[in-house]
């Protein structure tokens, strides 16, 4: 039985029929995914979530002073202090988000915690209450803009005393700036430190100042 073998062409077939649709598909996908889709997503974000899409900026007198999503350092006794940051080369560096990566048995971590405890005790020597852990340990991101409600309440007496405010006025501000659990059960109550300190600095609390004795 004779089997006829297929003839192998001596010249390669033209690539035109294959190349043309590939180029058209490339152009269409580039247009859709590289231009139209980003424009659509950006437009929806600006229309519906403009504050979040632009960095959740916090403004004072029309000028941005920070973001509600990124912590800032505060060391003055009249301000609430933020959670420590371990980012480098400076604290709360959004371009180098990271934790310290120090384990519980690390001598360096123990030294850092001891130094932070000493700083808190030095600025408020009469406060003998236990120090909340988030005031002496950094978060995993190093950018945490919040402190726990316990950390805020630990600092209230100091802030009220230094500013000459009635304790109940500072307590009311903390309550106003407390963010509660998402959907009532996710996470823990927390306080945005930058927003709280800006509220303290606005001067709206003059009527709540403690009368001199």
Give a three-class secondary structure readout of the chain. CCCCCCCCCCCCCCCHHHHHHHHHHHHHHHHHHHHHHHHHHHHHHHHHCHHHHCCCEEEECCEEEEECCCCCCCCCCCCCCCCCCCCCCCCCCHHHCCCCCCCCCCHHHHHHHHHHHHHHHHHCCCCCCCCCHHHCCCCCCCCCCEEEHHHHHHHHHHHHHHHCECHHHHHHHHHHCEECCECCCECCCEEEHHHHHHHHHCCCCHHHECCCC
pLDDT class for 6, splitting at 50, 70, 90? low
Compare 196 and 202 and report the one with higher pLDDT: 196
Q: Does the pLDDT at position 209 exceed 70?
A: no
Q: Does the pTM of the predicted model rise above 0.85?
A: no
Higher pLDDT, 63 or 194: 194
Q: What is the mean pLDDT of residues 17-40?
A: 91
Taking residues 105-115, report their average pLDDT: 96
* Model pLDDT for residues 76-94, shown as the tens digit of each residue: 999 999 999 999 899 999 9
**Higher model confidence: residue 158 or residue 65?**
158
pLDDT (average), residues 182-192: 92
């Amino acid at each position: 039985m004779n089997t006829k073998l297929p003839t192998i062409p001596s010249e390669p077939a033209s690539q035109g029929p294959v190349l043309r649709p590939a180029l058209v598909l490339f152009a269409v996908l580039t247009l859709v995914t590289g231009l139209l889709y980003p424009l659509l997503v950006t437009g929806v974000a600006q229309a519906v979530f403009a504050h979040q899409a632009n960095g959740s900026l916090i403004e004072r007198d029309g000028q941005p002073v920070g973001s509600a999503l990124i912590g800032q350092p505060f060391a003055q006794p009249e301000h609430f202090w933020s959670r420590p940051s371990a980012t480098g080369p400076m604290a709360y560096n959004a371009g180098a988000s990271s934790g310290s990566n120090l384990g519980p048995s690390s001598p360096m971590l123990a030294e850092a915690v001891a130094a932070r405890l000493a700083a808190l005790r030095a600025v408020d020597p009469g406060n003998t209450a236990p120090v909340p852990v988030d005031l002496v340990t950094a978060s995993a991101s190093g950018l945490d803009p919040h402190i726990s409600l316990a950390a805020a309440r630990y600092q209230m007496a100091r802030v009220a005393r230094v500013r000459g405010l009635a304790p109940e006025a500072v307590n009311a501000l903390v309550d106003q700036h407390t963010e509660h659990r998402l959907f009532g059960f996710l996470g823990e109550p927390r306080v945005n430190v930058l927003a709280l300190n800006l509220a303290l600095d606005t001067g709206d609390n003059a009527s709540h100042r403690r009368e001199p004795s």
